A and B are shown apart, each in its own frame.
Chain A
Amino acid sequence: MKPAAFEYVCPDTLEEALSYLDLWGDSAKILAGGQSLVPLLNMRLAQPQYIIDINRLPGLSGITRHPDTRTVEIGALVRHHQLISNPILLAHASLLSEAARYIGHIAIRSRGTIGGSIAHADPSGELPLAVTALRGHLKVRSRHSQRTIPIEDFFGGYYMTALEPNELIYAVEVLESPIRTGCAVKEFQRRHGDFALASAAAAITVDESGAVLQARVAVGGVAPNAVTCSKVEEALCGQTNNNQFSLAAELVAQHIDPPEDIQASADYRRHLAIALAAEAIDSAYERALWAKEEA
């Protein structure tokens, strides 16, 4: 449980970090919160030659609202615990706050970062799930270029992403939730803080009459990456009651082909995904109605 030798750098500017990354590419790993990387190093499942510690980089730790574009931008180094209590997120993108509550244990939430979680691309990661549900974008830079990747184009299978070896996520961007929106995340863990066997996220917007105007639904832990469930979302539009929600949640099955492993059979994972999606939809809808009352 001792890592192989590596060279460690701790740059002070994003430009410096990007030039290291440009130089070393695949043989370097970015160290942010270290909650996944450090165990991988210790078990020698990852043996990078270089570690680029980005914890000192300025400007990556903020959460900003841009009213003109109706977006919220979250710096890559924002820690999970900040997501839980940030007033901007609670008001305008509360699905991220909801999701962050389920991440690991308090020590993990204190150190882990949103950029790290998304770049790690764990199939049951809570933040990949929430950002997927919200159709977020990842702001990515390399030494010489900059681009924005829609999250639906970002994940490429278990722990795989569209990042080039010289690229770094510096921010995550999501659209503000419309008024009269309620959000909920549900997951099933064997123990407190475990990776989810299955999880579901829902953001439901209702119209003035209380019918579903827009639905965002995604499930996690049941495929190589989080999966948006467009058929469920379509089926929910215009609906107002729980029976219809349950029927809509059944459609999750058409989006997934869950893996089987020592923790759960494919059938059980599918069953959980549907049950959790139904719960998340119910709960998000109820919150949307509260939001309507307040509006």
Chain B
Amino acid sequence: MAYIGQRMTRVEDERLVTGQGQYVSDITPSGTLHLAVVRSLHAHARITHLDLSSAQCLDGVIGVYGPDDVLPIMKPFPPGMVDARLQARMPTPLATGRVHYVGEPVAVVVALSRYIAEDAVRLVEVNYEPLPAVTDPVAGEYADPIHDGADSNLAAEIAYRVGAGADALKDADLVVQTSLRLGRVVGHPMEPRGIVAIYDSEQQNLSVYAGTQGVHGFRKSLADMLGLSESRIRVVAPDTGGGFGLKTRIYPEDVLAAYLAMRLNRPVKWQGDRYEEFISTNQERDQWHRAKIGVKRDGRIVAVVDEYYQDQGAYTPSGIIVADTTAVSIMGPYRVPNFEAVGKVVVTNKVPVGPYRGAGRPQGTFVMERLMDHAADALGMDRVQIRRINLLTPDQLPYQNGISSRGALMTLPYGEYQKTMEQVVDAIQYEQYRDTVRCEGDWRLGIGIANYLEMSGGVGFEGAKMRLLSDGRVQIATGASGQGQGHRTAIGQVAADRLGLPFEQIVVVEGDTAAIERGIGTFGSRTMIMAGNATTQAAKGFRQRLLAFAADLFEASPEDLMWQHGTISVSGVPARALSLAQIAEEALTRQQELEYEAYFDASGPAFGMGTHGVEVAVNTKTWEVKIRQYRICHDGGVIVNPLLVEGQTIGGTVQGLGTALFEALIIDPDSGQPQNASFLDYLLPGAGEMPDFMITEVEYPDPTNPEGFKGVAEGGVMPPMAAVCAAIEDALKEWHVRADVLPITPNDIFLQVTRGGAHETRSI
């Protein structure tokens, strides 16, 4: 039986749904001390005075530390992703002199319990001299620099040009321009960040439990900050409740907890809470775009031009990956002969921006799909028809769109994009309703279609280390630490197929630097491409290793051995056979480790195209938006487990619908204070707001890796914003509502309707 392609239920689930999971917050070694953080109350201010004495006097407080008390670690974090275009702004673990956002760590308390630590936090006296907060990236570019020693707030400028770029607009029959905004979205994994650090002073080894997406990178950064050799640090990611990119890098609390564990020689734990998640964990989206599309009268794209700002927040923890991926994602699955994008990354007095599911892909998709809709409207053409005309056709693929990203020219592999889109167009009955105004009581119905091109994997390496366990099971360790994806199931399926073993005989271990020497981690929809192919490679070598060992035992040549159903036998002599358990036993007596490790190197990103179609109903009394139907067709490459892939797709889509309709952290423009930093009024989409999703898949194997896998974790989050906005506009044609600012809320729709619709921004 082939396991690849089966809808297998997750081996992870029984433990997790019965409460047997072990998360960081479940790990409290005896003698643990608890850390709490004194955070800046101001978006931008000078610290004029810091008095720790009252807090130090509280019963149960072990220590209170300001920047002067932790000098060995008071250095900037190593730049997250080095890029020649970027002047990195990296924080120190505690702010010195100046604070740059509400929530920036100013001091820390270590106490016998988190309760006492929080009591002590309130006793720390910090005097601030407020400075004007920079809260708008456009004006902020020329505002006084928020960082001491910086020339300006412009951290990076990103520029791409294909063909004649913006100059080509003059060849267009029609140029449509629009201003787009995406709100500041807080990622919100179900489990907030946390760490437990345990120091063994005798061995001088540090063990760390942290919910991180990459244990090896975490170890490297921690080693740099602590001035400790990596070999002395073990990082374990236990069960981790979501990451979405927010847990790819170390944060100030991680370094502080680890440093203080060493200094105090006691385990130190910091378990962030939901409020801290709102004011300290990287945020995303938050872009301003001014985009133009030039088209011929027949609908063909002549050029796409975008100028945009990334409201970066105070630091650049992950470089410019979000802003850069935005530009790279704009052209999507279309033929765009001329393209120009100029993006400015401007630091502001807000929580830093770092990748959150999509990392620029959703933003780029939003820009392109909105342009397509507005161009179609201006031409008097159907919105699906303009997409039919411009989607790349099978005979044009593989196609290089002229963008060089991640060290290679983007090359879109074979696919049948029109067929994918038509599946959704048919399923949602687009043609049937496209020219009618549909009403149901007070509700108006509308349909929106959006396409996307999902770029996945494509950088670095990942490994798989196979080892024969004493009971004959095969353990596979990988550096790709999951946070709920179901890797143990999916990698197990690949391994079982490639080793010809029953699935039950495979054990997957993730998230432990002690289990495999090297690794990168799980983000950017890379794990099945990277760790999946590494597993395939390792299976080959592991098999040979076992055959060679068995050949010694049988005193036969490896070529004369057969490997079948977990048993190795001598060809033609079925009596001479050993099970893997017996082989493990032999290996034990001979003191041999039977293991094999393989690393797969990326040769460029995989690409899969997909389409979302949504039908919304808008209430013309309350302007409430309801999602009635949602159809998805996407290219998953070779799909290992459709159940997991659908879970990824639905999960991403829900997050995209959150960005479209509900989510935005509102920052007061004058003070820089977040206005809705709790789940009371930061609205995450709930199950009740979501429709049933109908998903179909196409499988075009990706040519960049032997298994033909594609990443599927970010496709879902890319097009929902554009699709929903299109559907709302369609439903409210009569009022000329324009949905270019996210999230689009009933209040916004009401204001547009009562003010007579959106202002016309098109020009010919």
Mask of A32-72 contacts with B, CB within 8 angstroms, 1/0: 00000001000110000000000000000000000000000
CB of A5 closer than 8 Å to a CB of B: yes
Assess A2 versus B683: contact at CB under 8 Å? Given A267-B750, A271-B750: no
- Is B118 at the interface (CB under 8 A from chain A)? yes
Is A144 among interface residues, defined by CB-CB distance under 8 A? no
B680-718: contact bitstring with A at CB < 8 Å (1 yes, 0 no)?
A: 110101101100000000000000000000000000000
Contact A268 B275 (CB under 8 A): no
Contact of A268 (CB < 8 Å), options: B680, B685, B746: B746
What residue of chain B has the Cβ atom nearest to residue A194's Cβ?
B683
The number of chain A residues touching the other chain, given as a range, is 20 to 34
Chain B residues 249-290 with CB under 8 Å of chain A are 273-275
Are B273 and A1 in contact (CB-based, < 8 A)?
yes
- Please determine whether B750 and A262 come into contact, CB atoms closer than 8 angstroms: no
Assess the B274–A262 pair: CB atoms within 8 A. no
B433 interfacial by beta-carbon distance below 8 Å: no
Cα separation A39 to B275 with both chains bound (whole Å): 12
Q: For the complex, is A264 an interface residue (Cβ under 8 Å from B)?
A: yes
Cβ-closest chain A residue relative to B664: A262
Contacting pair B115 A268 (CB below 8 A): no
A145-153, A185-193, A237-245: which lies at the B interface?
Answer: A185-193
Tell me the smallest distance from the CB of B745 to a CB of chain A, in Å: 8
Residues of A within 8 A of B51 (CB): none
- A188 and B275 contact, Cβ closer than 8 Å, known pairs A43-B678, A262-B666, A271-B750: no
Q: Which residue of B lies closest to A186 (CB)?
A: B622
Task: Given A2-B114, A263-B747, A265-B747, answer yes or no on A190-B683 (Cβ-Cβ < 8 Å).
Answer: yes
Partner of A267, one of B622, B681, B751: B751
Contact B622 A275 (CB under 8 A): yes
Identify A1's interface contact among B275, B686, B688, CB under 8 A: B275
In angstroms, Cα B755 to Cα A265, docked, is: 13
In the assembled complex, the Cα of A262 lies from the Cα of B184 at a distance in Å of 14
Interface status of A217 (Cβ within 8 A of chain B): no
The answer to whether B275 and A43 have CB atoms under 8 Å apart is: yes
**CA–CA, A190 to B682, complex, Å?**
11
Bound complex: CA A271 to CA B621 (Å):
9
Question: Min CB distance, B193 to chain A, in Å?
Answer: 14
User: A190's contact among B114, B273, B746, B754, by CB below 8 Å, is which?
Assistant: B746
How many angstroms between the C-alpha atoms of A247 and B261 in the bound complex? Answer: 70
Judge whether A91 is part of the interface by a CB distance below 8 angstroms. Answer: no
**B686 pairs with A191, CB closer than 8 A:** yes
Question: Which B residues between 730 and 750 are near A, CB-CB below 8 angstroms?
Answer: 745-747, 750
A23 at the interface (CB under 8 A from B): no
- Among A1, A195, A267, A276, max chain B CB count under 10 A is at A1
Contact B622 A188 (CB under 8 A): yes
Docked-complex contact B666 and A1, CB < 8 angstroms: no
A268 contacts across to B, CB distance below 8 A: 746-747, 750-751
B662 located at the interface, meaning its Cβ lies under 8 Å from any Cβ of chain A in the complex: yes
Q: How far, in angstroms, from A3 to B114 measured CA to CA in the complex?
A: 10
Q: Which residues of A contact B122 (CB under 8 A)?
A: 44
**Cβ of B675 under 8 Å from chain A:** yes
Most buried by A among B114, B622, B666, B686: B622
A289 → chain B closest CB, angstroms:
20
Q: State whether the Cβ of B624 lies closer than 8 Å to any Cβ in chain A.
A: yes
Beta-carbon contact of B686 and A262 below 8 Å: no
How many angstroms between the C-alpha atoms of A264 and B754 in the bound complex? 14
A1-31 contact mask (Cβ, 8 Å, vs B): 1 or 0: 1111100000000000000000000000000
Render A260-293 as a binary contact track against B, CB cut-off 8 A, 1 for contact.
0011110110011001100100000000000000
B119 contacts chain A at the CB level, 8 A cutoff: yes
Q: What A residues does B622 contact at CB under 8 A? A: 188, 272, 275-276
Contact across chains for A263 and B685 when beta carbons are under 8 A apart: no
> Within the assembled complex, what's the spacing in Å between the Cα atoms of A2 and B685?
26
Contacts of A1 in B (CB 8 A): 273-275
Cβ–Cβ < 8 Å partners of B118 in chain A: 2, 4, 44
> In angstroms, how far is the closest chain A Cβ from the Cβ of B373?
25
Q: A188-B624, A191-B686, A192-B686 known; A262 and B754 CB under 8 Å? A: no
Neighbouring B residues of A262 by C-beta, 8 Å: 666, 675-676, 681
Q: Is the CB of A190 within 8 A of B662?
A: yes
Residue of A4, A192, A263, A272 touching B688 (CB-CB under 8 A) = A192
How far, in whole Å, are A275 and B675 apart by their CA atoms in the complex? 28
| Docked CA distance A65–B685 (Å) | 42
Given A1-B274, A5-B119, A190-B662, CB of A265 within 8 Å of CB of B683: no
12 contacts between A and B (CB under 8 A): A2-B114, A5-B115, A43-B678, A191-B688, A193-B688, A262-B666, A263-B681, A263-B747, A265-B751, A272-B622, A276-B622, A279-B621
Given A190-B683, A191-B685, 14 other A-B residues pairs in contact with their CB atoms under 8 A: A4-B118, A5-B119, A44-B122, A190-B745, A191-B686, A192-B686, A193-B686, A194-B683, A264-B746, A265-B751, A267-B751, A271-B750, A271-B754, A275-B621
